[in-house]
Amino acid sequence: MQVIIDPRSNYLYSSFYIAALKQRYGNSVRYDIAPFNELGDIGKDLRFIVRDGDKETKYFLYLNDSYTILEEDYAWCDVYGNVNANYSHYPLGKYPKQVSLVPSFGVRVEKSLFTTIVQAIWQLPILWRYVVNKSEWNKYKQRMECNRKQNLKHYLTRRYRAWKERLPISAYVNDIPSEDNYIFFLSTLWYSNEENKNDETVNLRRAHFIRACKSISDVTFDGGLLGDNSSSNDKFADVLAAHGEPFTAWMEKTKRSALVFNTPAFWDCHGWKLGEYLALGKCIVSTKLSNDLPYPLEHGKNIHFVESTEKSMHDAIDYILAHPDYRHKLEKGARAYWEKYGTPEASFKLLGLNFQ
């Protein structure tokens, strides 16, 4: 068995799958640009090939915020995994290679920062040869010359962040009991413009949740929205967070939180938080999802759906806090869903790659 990864793949976004491949196949996993030379640059995604004897299977995992099907990669691959699959826009009848995945998130791949740096530097010559010897170089020379250093800097930065700012997948367990009246929610206040309208969607929904928490006298609320000094800050000044948190603190406080809040994020994508909350076995309060999952989440079983209004969220929080048995049921249901559909092993099984 050989696993060959396109070294241009976004390391931070792909780390969830790369870590699992390395854990399962060890030294059989390698990076090589050659099998992917004819393909264009890659965004937040992952390309890899699995060779098992004479059989070769090409995988493309679309990990971006959109539900878009990238036609070039769809034509190239045998299996097209999508963490934001949307079958109403891209029906399976027309795109039968598409596989819906539970949203993944960034994890730590290597055990040490030293190993991370060594691995990154070792792959630089592979990427450099691609940049300077790429076919149609003359056509793209000006663009590549402008972006070469920036691209390599981003490559190294993603490697560093995947180690420094993230935790291994083994950390995603419900090993700290949730506290009855403590709610932690720290998230991004996204910039908003006429195209994305975030102030009318994700920003507003997150603000409604925070305001609902703050309006309940028994709740100790911790967190808020992290702004970027845009005009959105003024609109949501009452829900801005005083400061951010290191990721280890975010993890510990999320585990302690009585419940968590999920809503479609930028471009109405699932977002990393949904995957993280399921993995942590949290009681999830969520607005309606915009994209598809391998199997729908069920209200009252593994999630609690609400309308996108402050009142609906207030009523849900009140009810859940008053019914701890229901809260614990949702916690167990979320983790059970994750184990069946969301773990790296379950994800690869959905893609037709059995880790057993």
Is 277:284 a contact under the CB 8 Å cutoff? yes
| pTM score, whole prediction | 0.89
pLDDT at 38 (0 to 100): 85
pLDDT of residue 118: 67
pLDDT of res. 142: 44
Please answer whether residues 202 and 266 qualify as being in contact, where contact means their C-beta atoms are separated by less than 8 angstroms: yes
* pLDDT > 80? residue 231: no
What average pLDDT does the segment 211-224 reach? 97
Which one has a higher pLDDT value, 164 or 280? 280
CATH dotted code for 182-344? 3.40.50.2000
For the cut 60, the answer to whether the pLDDT of residue 144 exceeds it is: no
**How confident is the model over 249-303, as pLDDT tens digits?**
999 999 999 999 999 998 899 999 999 999 999 999 999 999 999 999 999 999 9
Q: pLDDT band for 169, please (50, 70, 90 cuts).
A: very high
Q: Is the confidence at residue 159, as pLDDT, over 50?
A: yes
- The pLDDT value recorded for residue 117 is 67
**At 323, which amino acid appears?**
H
Contact present, 235 and 200 (Cβ < 8 Å): no
The angle subtended at Cα 303 by Cα 297 and Cα 307, nearest 5°, is 100
Instruction: Report the alpha-carbon distance of residue 250 to residue 279 in Å, rounded.
Output: 15
pLDDT at site 125: 60
What is the Cα–Cα distance from 56 to 40, expressed in whole angstroms? 21
Q: What is the 3-state secondary structure (H, E, C) of 59-128?
A: EEEECCCCCCCCHHHHHHCCEEEECCCCCCCCCCCCCCCEEECCCCCCCCCCCCHHHHHHHHHHHHHHHH
pLDDT band at 78 (very low <50, low <70, confident <90, very high): very high
pLDDT at 56 over 90: yes
Q: At residue 105, does pLDDT exceed 60?
A: yes
DSSP string, 130-192: HHHH-TTHHHHHHHHHHHHHHHHHHHHHHHHHHHHT---GGG-S--SPPPTTEEEEEEE----
Distances (CA, A) of 273 to 39, 105, 220, 237, 265: 31, 8, 21, 23, 9
Residue 112 has pLDDT above 80, yes or no: no
Return the exposure string of 107-136: e unless at least 16 CB atoms fall within 10 Å of the residue's CB, then b: bbbbeeeeebeebbeebeebbeebbeeeee
Residue 152 pLDDT grade (very low, low, confident, very high; cuts 50, 70, 90): low
CATH 3.40.50.2000 domain position(s) in the chain = 182-344
DSSP 206-255: HHHHHHHHHT-TT-EEEEEEE--SSTHHHHTGGGB-SS---HHHHHHHHH
What does the pLDDT read at residue 10? 83
* Separation in Å, CA 352 to CA 57, 87, 185: 10, 19, 36
Handedness of CA 10, 245, 303, 349 (dihedral sign): positive
**Residue 73 confidence (pLDDT):** 96
Q: Say whether pLDDT at 139 is over 50.
A: no
Provide the pLDDT confidence category of residue 146 given band limits of 50, 70 and 90. very low
Q: For residue 5, what are its two tokens?
A: 């990864």
Biggest alpha carbon–alpha carbon distance for the chain: 67
Percent of the chain with pLDDT over 70: 85
Asked if 285 and 318 touch (Cβ cutoff 8 Å), the reply is no
Whole-number mean pLDDT of the chain? 88
The pLDDT tens digits for 297-339 are 999 999 999 999 999 999 999 999 999 999 999 999 999 999 9
Q: How many CB atoms lie within 10 A of CB 218?
A: 10
Find out whether 227 and 243 touch, Cβ atoms under 8 Å.
no
Q: What is the mean pLDDT of residues 81-108?
A: 96
Taking alpha carbons only, the member of 94, 52, 100 closest to residue 80 is: 100
Provide the 10 A C-beta neighbour count for residue 192. Answer: 19
Who has greater pLDDT, 117 or 341? 341
**In angstroms, what CA-CA distances link 122 with 9, 43, 135, 327?**
15, 21, 23, 48
Please, are residues 101 and 295 in contact by the beta-carbon 8 Å criterion? Answer: no
Of 71, 67, 74, 61, the closest CA to residue 16 belongs to: 61
